């Protein structure tokens, strides 16, 4: 079907279907969904990238807001760990959003393509588990970046702490900036920053990453809203789809083969990344 002649109502239905599916696989693959949504919708739907990024930020925001209460109650998201990191990320994301909306579309599209391809390769090659921190660094001690959660698999309470706090703050500022530019939650980068760099347990890293995205994207989303870059016809079906899909994904988490889903995500990211890059370079409009 030619996108130019298709009736308007096809697109919200297609967005809902796509984001419902993204919601399921994002939970199982441990990503936010925005990193697939922005290049896929930007590459294969008729909307301008400005509106896709606005919807992408809100989609990542809504999905993580919906998951945060469960993660906080399970102590897998730690508010004290997230407070300083999200503050650094929020300030940077505001600048990222402003710069992203000011840059030429082709530049953003090409950079998005390169970023998504690089993330796919990173996901494929790295082990996000990292090494656990055994001692806090002085700043981490002052900020009380430590906690405890109950691991049902191990049937025990796990004490944890983080280190390399300054590096962590710098990493979250960088991640927040890129998230603002591209309209992503950037969970793919938060998790290794928390686990590999700061030494948090993987479960705490995944949980706290979600809470961090919900805070950082709240700031950047307002830049897009205030500048008129949020079209409800694109944003609303995407938000509703990802929230409903994520609920099913959370239920399927134990039964779905996580490794197979991860491979599907990597292939989808490579396709979406190549499409975004070629579109940005004017080779495949």
Q: Is 186 in the site for other proteins (CB under 8 A)?
A: no
Site string (22-61) toward other proteins, x via CB under 8 A: ------------------------xxx-xx------x--x
246 binds other proteins (CB under 8 A): no
Residues 61-80 that bind other proteins (CB under 8 A): 61-62, 65-66, 68-70, 72-73, 75, 77-80
Q: What is the DSSP string of the chain?
A: --TTTS-TTHHHHHHHHHHHHHHHHHHHHT--SHHHHHHHHHHHSSS-HHHHHHHHHHHHHHHHHHHHHHHHHTT-S-HHHHHHHHHHHHHHHHHHHHHHHHS-HHHHHHHHHHHHHHHHHHHHH--TT----SS--HHHHHTT-EEEEEETTTTEEEEEE---HHHHHHHHHHHHHHHHHHT---HHHHHHIIIIIT---HHHHHHHHHHHHHHHHHHHHHHHHHTT---HHHHHHHHHHHHHHHHHHHHHTTTS-HHHHHHHHHHHHHHHHHHHHHHHTTS--
Interaction between residue 226 and other proteins (CB under 8 A): yes
Among 15, 120, 191, 223, binds other proteins (CB under 8 A): 223
Pick from 110, 136, 162, 219: which binds other proteins (CB under 8 A)?
219
- With respect to other proteins, which residue has the nearer C-beta, 58 or 268? 58
Among 143, 204, 242, 271, binds other proteins (CB under 8 A): 143
Any contact of residue 101 with other proteins (CB under 8 A)?
yes
Is 222 a binding residue for other proteins by CB under 8 A? The answer is yes
Residues that bind other proteins (CB under 8 A): 4, 6, 8-9, 11-12, 46-48, 50-51, 58, 61-62, 65-66, 68-70, 72-73, 75, 77-80, 83-84, 86-87, 90-91, 94, 98, 101, 105, 142-144, 147, 214-215, 217-223, 225-237, 239-240, 243
């Amino acid at each position: 079907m030619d996108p130019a002649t298709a009736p308007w109502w096809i697109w919200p239905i297609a967005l809902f279907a796509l984001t419902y599916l993204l919601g399921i696989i994002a939970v199982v693959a441990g990503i936010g969904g925005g990193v697939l949504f922005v290049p896929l919708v930007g590459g294969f739907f008729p909307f301008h990238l400005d509106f896709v990024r606005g919807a992408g930020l809100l989609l990542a925001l809504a999905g993580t807001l919906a998951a945060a209460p469960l993660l906080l109650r399970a102590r897998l998201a730690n508010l004290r760990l997230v407070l300083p990191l999200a503050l650094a990320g929020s300030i940077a994301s505001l600048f990222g959003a402003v710069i992203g909306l000011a840059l030429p579309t082709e530049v953003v599209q090409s950079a998005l393509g390169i970023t998504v391809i690089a993330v796919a390769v990173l996901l494929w090659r790295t082990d996000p588990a990292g090494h656990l921190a055994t001692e806090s660094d002085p700043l981490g001690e002052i900020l009380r970046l430590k906690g405890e959660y109950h691991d049902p698999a191990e049937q025990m309470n796990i004490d944890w702490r983080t280190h390399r706090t300054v590096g962590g703050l710098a990493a979250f500022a960088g991640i927040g900036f890129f998230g603002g530019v591209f309209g992503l939650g950037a969970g793919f980068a938060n998790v290794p920053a928390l686990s590999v760099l700061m030494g948090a347990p993987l479960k705490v890293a995944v949980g706290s990453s979600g809470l961090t995205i919900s805070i950082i994207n709240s700031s950047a989303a307002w830049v897009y809203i205030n500048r008129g870059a949020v079209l409800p016809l694109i944003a609303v079906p995407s938000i509703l789809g990802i929230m409903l899909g994520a609920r099913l994904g959370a239920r399927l988490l134990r039964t779905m083969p996580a490794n197979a889903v991860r491979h599907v995500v990597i292939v989808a990211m490579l396709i979406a990344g190549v499409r975004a890059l070629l579109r940005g370079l004017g080779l495949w409009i």
